[in-house]
Amino acid sequence: MLKNLKLVLLLICLISLISPACNNTSHSNNDKTNREEMITEGKKEENLAEDDEKEENTEEDQEQAKENEEKNEIVEIDYNKIRPNELGHIMIIMYHGLVEENPPSPYQRTIEGFKKDLEYLYEHGYRAISMRDFIDNNISVEAGCTPVIITFDDGISSSFSLIEESGVLKAKPDCAVDIINKFCEEHPDFGRHAVFYINGDNDPFAGAGTTKERFKYLIDHGYEVYNHTYSHAHLSQLSANEIQEQVGKLDQMIKEALPGYVVDSLAYPFGERPKEELRHLIEKGVYNGQEYHYKIALREGPSGPFVPVNHVKFEPFNVPRVRGSEGEEWDLWWFFDYYDKHPEYRYISDGNPDRISIPKEMEAYLNKDSLRDKELYVYTIEE
């Protein structure tokens, strides 16, 4: 009885959270992101509960979560209405720092501009995902939504830094992380994710806390920290040894601060790749007796289409990004307008991370070898 009541309450919470839903999909599916947020929240609350209740609640909640999970997986979407296209474009947005006003270049964004970007993304059916899920092809945004990845380069304090308040470390007010945290409190289904590409020689995220505490705050709150080379190097000008030092030294710095954390994503400083014959040293190399392995590396501009990993044109070590700014050709707001006019190019999720759904006319663009354990579903629209 109690269990049923809790389930009903959970469902009511979920329904109230799914708003606004993506592209007329509110009828169709439970939102996996929402559900995961709810489960996480539930777990947090549990930690505060009395010890003797703790174990029972955990088991019960896990059982409920599992029940909902199974339920969700068998919910089928209306393909004619949602028209998922999981070979469509996923933008990776690139920011550097935030400024209060008058950005010195289009690489900086104002605080208000960044808030405006988040609002636009949310209102237009974009949902933030992690780089981890992008790399692992494990995209679980609500059916009808378009994933997006938010990145910040250079470990700048206005992107993220900590302050200490009564002995507790908190995100500094109006740094990007603080803005995203607050945005996700109001819109839990947006997805609290952003990716930080850092250097090692510039005191990343300068402010309160040790380097380790800063990295740990990010990881503990759903964010990610990856490699932007040790000293923001011009990789195109470096020798084999120098490249491995730049990649390996920073790789080891993150891994030492975060034991067990997987570091397999890099952003090329200045967007510059190594000379062609040395490019393999991004994927794999050795520094100081330790190997590193990378799966993806990002450029600094829209150097190609924003295709996902199952697309034949996906090049893991040449992944384009779009500059998070407004008013110039090829920047974020230019692409907002572009996808508004051409929604057919957007990645539209089927809501099921285990299934890759594509319309028949996109089948030629599928790299079948990239599917691995994912189920493929090719559908034809009935007009």
Q: Which residues contact 118 (CB under 8 A, 6 or more apart)?
A: 179, 180, 183, 190
61 Cβ contact list (under 8 Å, min separation 6) = 39, 42, 43, 46
Residue number with CB closer to Zn ion (140 or 161): 161
- Cβ proximity to Zn ion: between 218 and 307 the closer is 218
Q: Which residue is nearest to Zn ion (CB)?
A: 153
φ, ψ of residue 203 in degrees (nearest 5)? 50, 70
Both tokens assigned to 222: 């759903």
The closest alpha carbon to 97, from 191, 211, 174, belongs to: 174
> Would you say how long the chain is, in residues?
383
- Give how far the C-alpha of residue 253 lies from the chain's centroid of Cα atoms, to the nearest Å: 22
Binding residues for Zn ion, per CB under 5 A?
153-154, 269
Q: Which is nearer to Zn ion, 139 or 156 (CB)?
A: 156
Closest approach, Cβ 298 to Zn ion, in A, equals 11
Residue 78 has phi, psi (to 5 degrees) of -85, 100
Nearer to Zn ion, 192 or 232 (CB): 232
Taking the complex as a whole, how short is the minimal distance between the CB of residue 75 and Zn ion, in angstroms? 42
Shortest spacing between CB 101 and Zn ion, in angstroms:
23
- Minimum separation from the CB atom of position 247 to Zn ion (A): 14
46 versus 272: smaller Cβ distance to Zn ion:
272
Task: Kindly tell me which of 42 and 271 has the beta carbon lying closer to Zn ion.
Answer: 271
Contact 195, 265 (CB under 8 A): yes
- How far apart are CB 334 and Zn ion at their closest, in Å? 21
- Angle at which helix 51-74 crosses helix 2-17, to 10 degrees, equals 60
C-alpha 64 chain-centroid distance: 27
**Cβ proximity to Zn ion, 154 vs 326, nearer residue:** 154
Q: How far is the CB of 154 from Zn ion (least distance, A)?
A: 4
Tokens representing 1 are: 């009885």
Question: Smallest distance from the beta carbon of 39 to Zn ion, in angstroms?
Answer: 36
Its sign, for the CA torsion 194, 197, 200, 201, is negative
205: left (phi over 0), alpha (psi -120 to 50) or beta: left
